[in-house]
Chains A and B, each alone.
Chain A
């Protein structure tokens, strides 16, 4: 099976790449971080006897994506699975962030995801099932003040996944929307989780379980996967409560968390704890 993974040098991308490597799938990995791609390529090749190809690509650029697609087409490569993992998040108040950072969230999380999904779906192996993953988030379930743009961008991906699942089921395409809570992938993520106290840890999902279950569910039937019983309960009860009440509760929780850890200052290299 040929698997295409975006954001492959990030924490979730690496975990999913490991999971696919364990299953003997050949991997096409892309990310904007070329050094990170080289490192994960070495790691996968040394652990598993599979073929790993990497190509650095800026998914927000039509030109960069077209260049990547030309290389694939020159070699007549066809795919069986696409794992859309590339995405970014800037926490903090809407006006505390620069305009270009806010735009980048939508540009990468949404526009770039559609760009690469359309391209790889058009290059799927004929006559075989195809497996399509969108990495959404638990944040997609509610409006989230202080993570407003990120949460909305993930809601976009959730809805696209559900819609495409219906639209493409006759074409043997399984679509899964992955909606994890916190994932301890980077030092910044771990600091953010710790800053939220008990609820941060309680809504954090173990990466190794998420990656295994994601591939398993994607291959079985697709749908929406919310890891963790607590997160599933929050999702269910969240549907019964008016959205503006949820927005108020989330704002209160994140305000408190960001008193202990300022994500804007952390990104600027001047962390306040």
Chain B
């Protein structure tokens, strides 16, 4: 039985992807930060598909020590249940903030959750992904376009704009995927980014306020249901041979920003390694540590 890990799996796109992969026979390990919502999500998934094999782990992926704890728990599950292999990792957890807010490490929260969390979790699960020729999928967004990484102030601490922070984090998602493919495609690990388009979820209403909350409550009414983009995740998990493009929308490759270059991907990789206190291995021998 193949295994998939999905972050932000208790609601929205993550939950829809969980349901889709459960139907296809995956053991899905969902990550959420609210214990009650995780339990409700698990019960909903089993109610809809009684043969689903779903495990939920609870933790706040904004905090790096929590990411490391959860990665250990995932590794234990994979070691005992899947020969230490991980076929799919979907870095979907994300947030929006109306104000500049920081994590325990002092990092801006949108950058920390939308990008660094996936970066650090993928690093911790790299050996398992390599064993399975796994696929890593990031939840991106069209809003990554018309944006550059603010290299001199990536935490946007000189004047915060919630939309700029979100757009930057989504650009970081696709740069991370590019960096992964530049480094590990030859080792069999393939990374993708899904553009889910405008989706009716609560991302803009959680821990936001004022204008952001109001604007999102109107915009989301024009969004599609999460089950629609979930099919693109399932497509990227299942299709063989693995597709070679980077950025997908409705199961088809799509154009992405000219900012997505190997130079920018390398620069973000180095910065992210520094902020996470890690160093991605150079080649296969180092991966199998």
Per-residue A-contact encoding for B200-226, CB less than 8 Å = 1, 0 else: 000000011111010000000000000
* Chain B, residue nearest A187 (CB): B207
Among the stretches B11-19, B100-108, B257-265, the one at the interface with A is B100-108
Determine if B241 is an interface residue (Cβ-Cβ < 8 Å). Answer: no
Determine if B65 is an interface residue (Cβ-Cβ < 8 Å). Answer: yes
Q: Give bound CA distance, A164 to B105, whole Å.
A: 33
Question: Count the B residues whose beta carbon is within 8 Å of the partner chain — how many?
Answer: 30
Instruction: Report yes or no: A194 in contact with B102, Cβ–Cβ below 8 A.
Output: no
Determine if A206 is an interface residue (Cβ-Cβ < 8 Å). Answer: yes
Q: Give bound CA distance, A42 to B104, whole Å.
A: 10
Instruction: Report yes or no: A201 in contact with B106, Cβ–Cβ below 8 A.
Output: no
Instruction: Report yes or no: B210 in contact with A39, Cβ–Cβ below 8 A.
Output: no
Q: A187-B207, A193-B209, A208-B159 are in contact. Are A43 and B104 (CB under 8 A)?
A: yes
Which residues of chain A are near B158, meaning CB under 8 Å?
208, 212
Determine if A151 is an interface residue (Cβ-Cβ < 8 Å). Answer: no
Question: Count the A residues whose beta carbon is within 8 Å of the partner chain — how many?
Answer: 33
Per-residue A-contact encoding for B120-159, CB less than 8 Å = 1, 0 else: 0000000000000000000000000000000000011111
* Chain A, residue nearest B108 (CB): A208
Determine if B275 is an interface residue (Cβ-Cβ < 8 Å). Answer: yes
Q: Give bound CA distance, A40 to B105, whole Å.
A: 4
A200-222 contacts to B (CB < 8 Å): 200-201, 204, 206-209, 211-212
Which residues of chain A are near B100, meaning CB under 8 Å?
15, 184, 206-208
Distance in angstroms from A12 CB to nearest chain B CB is: 10
Q: A44-B106, A208-B158 are in contact. Are A190 and B64 (CB under 8 A)?
A: no
Q: Give bound CA distance, A17 to B107, whole Å.
A: 12
Distance in angstroms from B186 CB to nearest chain A CB is: 29
Q: A185-B101, A190-B207, A194-B213 are in contact. Are A208 and B157 (CB under 8 A)?
A: yes
Q: Give bound CA distance, A194 to B211, whole Å.
A: 11
Instruction: Report yes or no: A47 in contact with B275, Cβ–Cβ below 8 A.
Output: yes
Q: A44-B106, A190-B209 are in contact. Are A207 and B277 (CB under 8 A)?
A: no
Q: Give bound CA distance, A194 to B98, whole Å.
A: 11
Instruction: Report yes or no: A14 in contact with B277, Cβ–Cβ below 8 A.
Output: no
Q: Give bound CA distance, A9 to B65, whole Å.
A: 15
Q: Give bound CA distance, A46 to B156, whole Å.
A: 17
* Chain A, residue nearest B63 (CB): A39
Determine if A223 is an interface residue (Cβ-Cβ < 8 Å). Answer: no
Instruction: Report yes or no: B101 in contact with A47, Cβ–Cβ below 8 A.
Output: no
Determine if B240 is an interface residue (Cβ-Cβ < 8 Å). Answer: no
Q: A46-B277, A190-B207, A208-B157 are in contact. Are A36 and B104 (CB under 8 A)?
A: yes
Q: Give bound CA distance, A42 to B208, whole Å.
A: 27
Per-residue B-contact encoding for A1-29, CB less than 8 Å = 1, 0 else: 00000000101001101110010000000
Instruction: Report yes or no: A208 in contact with B156, Cβ–Cβ below 8 A.
Output: yes
Instruction: Report yes or no: A184 in contact with B101, Cβ–Cβ below 8 A.
Output: yes
Q: Give bound CA distance, A193 to B210, whole Å.
A: 9
Instruction: Report yes or no: A40 in contact with B159, Cβ–Cβ below 8 A.
Output: no
Instruction: Report yes or no: A42 in contact with B105, Cβ–Cβ below 8 A.
Output: yes
Instruction: Report yes or no: B99 in contact with A194, Cβ–Cβ below 8 A.
Output: no
Which residues of chain A are near B49, meaning CB under 8 Å?
none
Q: Give bound CA distance, A194 to B210, whole Å.
A: 7
Determine if B274 is an interface residue (Cβ-Cβ < 8 Å). Answer: yes
User: A39 is contacted by which of B99, B105, B159 (Cβ under 8 Å)?
Assistant: B105
Distance in angstroms from B281 CB to nearest chain A CB is: 19
* Chain B, residue nearest A193 (CB): B209
Which residues of chain A are near B103, meaning CB under 8 Å?
39, 43
* Chain B, residue nearest A19 (CB): B157
Determine if A267 is an interface residue (Cβ-Cβ < 8 Å). Answer: no
Which residues of chain B are near A200, meaning CB under 8 Å?
209
B152-178 contacts to A (CB < 8 Å): 155-160
Q: Give bound CA distance, A21 to B179, whole Å.
A: 29
Which residues of chain A are near B276, meaning CB under 8 Å?
46
Determine if A53 is an interface residue (Cβ-Cβ < 8 Å). Answer: no
Distance in angstroms from A214 CB to nearest chain B CB is: 13
Q: Give bound CA distance, A44 to B50, whole Å.
A: 48
Instruction: Report yes or no: B65 in contact with A207, Cβ–Cβ below 8 A.
Output: no
Instruction: Report yes or no: A207 in contact with B106, Cβ–Cβ below 8 A.
Output: no
Q: Give bound CA distance, A184 to B103, whole Å.
A: 12
* Chain B, residue nearest A210 (CB): B100
Q: Give bound CA distance, A9 to B106, whole Å.
A: 9
Q: Give bound CA distance, A240 to B277, whole Å.
A: 54
A178-200 contacts to B (CB < 8 Å): 184-185, 187, 190, 193-194, 198, 200
* Chain B, residue nearest A43 (CB): B105
Instruction: Report yes or no: B275 in contact with A46, Cβ–Cβ below 8 A.
Output: yes
Instruction: Report yes or no: A201 in contact with B209, Cβ–Cβ below 8 A.
Output: yes
Which residues of chain A are near B97, meaning CB under 8 Å?
184
Instruction: Report yes or no: A35 in contact with B65, Cβ–Cβ below 8 A.
Output: yes
5 intermolecular pairs with C-beta atoms under 8 Å apart: A39-B103, A184-B101, A190-B209, A201-B211, A208-B159
The 6 closest A-B pairs by CB, nearest first: A43-B105, A39-B104, A184-B99, A201-B210, A43-B106, A208-B100
